[in-house]
Amino acid sequence: MAERDPTKHLVLVHGAWQGRWSFAAWTPMLEAAGWHVHAVDLPGNGWGPQGHAPASLAHYTAHVAGLVVSLGRPAVVLGHSGGGITASQVAEALPDRVTALVYLAGMMLPSGVSFVDLVHGVATADPGAEVAGISPFLDHDTAADTTTVRPEGALACFVQDCDPSAARDAIALLRPQPESGRRMVNRLSAERFGRVPRVYVECTQDRSVTPPLQHEMLRLTPGTKHLSLDCGHVPQLAQPERLTRLLVPELDALHARRLLTLPPTH
């Protein structure tokens, strides 16, 4: 086990219907590799002291950016699934404080492009592409403007390759997701977001953010380091050891490069 480096900070941002709990199985492995891990509960997602606060990209960004600033050091920001949208916007807000962005089967969307836009574009270009993801398994509460994932959908699209007991536990923790926290569009610039290094971890068996969507996001965002893992949508639960072996060397290299750019201390 590596001693945790006081300069190595990793902020983990969950996706829709989830909370910080979605990283619980993986966190000890990252910490054993020497990283200080900070998993967040996004506002309005049913968990933490802001569980019932407004859910929006502005609130999500302010929440995560506030954590990054409080660390007093630059941090890697990782977004899983829809958490990638928030991660991108945090980098736009704090480009000098974000060492790198990591998208874990994440939504790495260009400025002004929604996830619905992405799905429509891929489906139009290739009508046979699998892009439906979790949508057929959502129940809509129009009065509350939330969606809920049906258990059979979560099993089919999110945790199909996880240990059955761990999958059941994860499904039981899913919460209604405010649609205001899914209808999000990034506003990004080359001058700020564009200068933050990016790593994309593709999940080749993903049934939620499906491979055709992941490939299109990589095409639309050139210059992103591309890693690949043969697993479903939640590698931090299905294959945390393999994910750690794949990603930690990249994190360490990004951190080392960041140290080279910092001004000398006296």
| Structure-model confidence comparison of residues 54 and 214, the more confident one | 214
Residue with tokens 């290299």: 253
| Structure-model confidence comparison of residues 232 and 46, the more confident one | 232
Q: Is residue 101 part of a domain?
A: yes
Residue with tokens 């209604």: 176
Q: Is residue 1 part of a domain?
A: no
Please state whether beta strands 146-149 and 138-141 pair in parallel, antiparallel, or not at all (unpaired): antiparallel
What is the spatial distance between Cα 183 and Cα 180, in angstroms, rounded to a whole number? Answer: 5
**pLDDT (0 to 100) of residue 258:** 83
| 226-238 mean pLDDT | 98
Q: What is the pLDDT of residues 4-18, one digit of tens each?
A: 788 999 999 999 999
Does pTM surpass 0.85? yes
What is the spatial distance between Cα 90 and Cα 186, in angstroms, rounded to a whole number? Answer: 10
**pLDDT (0 to 100) of residue 262:** 56
* Torsion angle (degrees, nearest 10) of CA 205, 99, 3, 242: 10
Q: What percent of the chain has pLDDT over 70?
A: 97
Q: What is the pLDDT of residues 85-110, one digit of tens each?
A: 999 999 999 999 999 999 999 999 99
Res. 266 pLDDT band, cuts 50 70 90: very low
Q: Is residue 49 part of a domain?
A: yes
Angle at 7 between CA 14 and CA 255, to 5 degrees: 75
> Which amino acid type is present at position 145?
D
The count of structural domains within the chain is 1
Q: Is residue 200 part of a domain?
A: yes
At 124, phi and psi to the nearest 5?
A: -70, -40
Q: Is residue 167 part of a domain?
A: yes
What is the spatial distance between Cα 75 and Cα 101, in angstroms, rounded to a whole number? Answer: 9
Instruction: Report residue 75 as tokens.
Output: 């941090």
Task: Examine the pLDDT at 65 and tell me if it is beyond 90.
Answer: yes
Task: Examine the pLDDT at 264 and tell me if it is beyond 50.
Answer: no
Half-sphere exposure of 200 (CA within 13 A, CB side): 28
| Cβ(100)–Cβ(198) below 8 Å | yes
**pLDDT (0 to 100) of residue 6:** 87
At 109, phi and psi to the nearest 5?
A: -105, 140
Q: Is residue 132 part of a domain?
A: yes
Q: What is the pLDDT of residues 143-155, one digit of tens each?
A: 999 999 999 999 9
Bridge partners for 37 per DSSP: 10
Average pLDDT, the chain: 95
| Cβ(14)–Cβ(40) below 8 Å | yes
Instruction: Report residue 157 as tokens.
Output: 């699209």
Task: Examine the pLDDT at 265 and tell me if it is beyond 50.
Answer: no
Residues with Cβ < 8 Å from 121, sequence gap 6 or more? 216
**Residue 141: which CATH number?**
3.40.50.1820
What is the spatial distance between Cα 7 and Cα 228, in angstroms, rounded to a whole number? Answer: 27
| Structure-model confidence comparison of residues 148 and 52, the more confident one | 148
Residues with Cβ < 8 Å from 145, sequence gap 6 or more? 178, 179, 180
Task: Examine the pLDDT at 78 and tell me if it is beyond 80.
Answer: yes
Structural domain including 236 reads 9-261
Task: Examine the pLDDT at 23 and tell me if it is beyond 50.
Answer: yes
Res. 20 pLDDT band, cuts 50 70 90: very high
Angle at 128 between CA 126 and CA 131, to 5 degrees: 85
Q: Is residue 232 part of a domain?
A: yes
| Cβ(146)–Cβ(179) below 8 Å | yes
| 54-74 mean pLDDT | 96
Res. 59 pLDDT band, cuts 50 70 90: very high
Q: Which of 264, 160, 250, 249 is nearest to 205 (CA)?
A: 160
Q: Is residue 17 part of a domain?
A: yes
Q: What is the pLDDT of residues 200-226, one digit of tens each?
A: 999 999 999 999 999 999 999 999 999
